[in-house]
Chains A and B, each alone.
Chain A
Amino acid sequence: MSSINQADLANLDDGSKKEIMTFLEAENSKQKVQMSVHQFTNMCFKQCVPAINNGDLSTHEEQCLNNCVNRFLDTNIRIVKGLQSLQ
């Protein structure tokens, strides 16, 4: 990988800086979603896939995975609302 020229980096114009910031913000939100997917998959796979008999997901397993994410998010929303009402 070619290294970044430090002088060029220091001399970036405002427009370029802004473009980089926008890029970073977009990558950052994408990364947050990805990390949540890692977390949910880890959690739901443990609960929904009891045994490994083949490489495919059964309809039952797939439904369980879908429900697992949705119920987790429902719970998360309910917790946030519950805490807000305590304030």
Chain B
Amino acid sequence: MALSSIFGGAAPSQQQGTTSNPAASKVKEQLKVQIAQELAVANVTELVNKITENCFEKCLTSPYANAQEGCVDQCLAKYMRSWNVISKAYVARIQQASTSGEI
């Protein structure tokens, strides 16, 4: 799972429904889009909060006279790279566990 999926980059799966009713298909699609969008918003919010917390801690010190913009920018890049590394490692672990029948 790549970071881009957090920002709603992954479109909801376009499943060809068995229903021929156009009203039902429309509601179904609307529901899926709405759910996917709300999850994307929740994920971005979580990411922004966690990065702010971590980079504030790493880059700024009392009495907070300087904004340390350079450090914050680098920290943001580092955090996103870390997110991708962790995601890959975790997904690999889940896959490994599921092929060996652990879960």
**Which A residues fall within an 8 A CB radius of B?**
1-2, 4-5, 8-9, 11-13, 15-16, 19-20, 23-24, 26-27, 30-31, 33-38, 40-42, 44-46, 48-49, 51-57, 61-62, 65-66, 68-70, 73
**In chain B between 65 and 98, which residues have their CB closer than 8 angstroms to a CB of chain A?**
71, 73-79, 81-83, 85-87, 89-91, 93-94
Looking at the complex, which one of B15, B18, B31, B94 makes contact with A4 (CB distance below 8 Å)?
B31
B21 and A13 within 8 A (CB): yes
Which residues from B are CB-within-8-Å of A37? 1, 83, 86-87, 90
Question: Which residue on chain A has the smallest CB distance to residue B73?
Answer: A55
Known A12-B28, A20-B28; judge A40-B86 contact (CB<8 A): yes
Interface core residue of B1, B23, B86 (most chain A CB under 10 Å): B86
**Which B residues fall within an 8 A CB radius of A?**
1, 5-6, 12-13, 15, 17-19, 21, 23-28, 30-32, 34-37, 39, 42-43, 46-47, 50, 53-55, 57-59, 71, 73-79, 81-83, 85-87, 89-91, 93-94
CA distance A73 to B90 in the complex (A): 9
Which residues from B are CB-within-8-Å of A40? 86, 90
A13 and B24 within 8 A (CB): yes
B28 and A57 within 8 A (CB): no
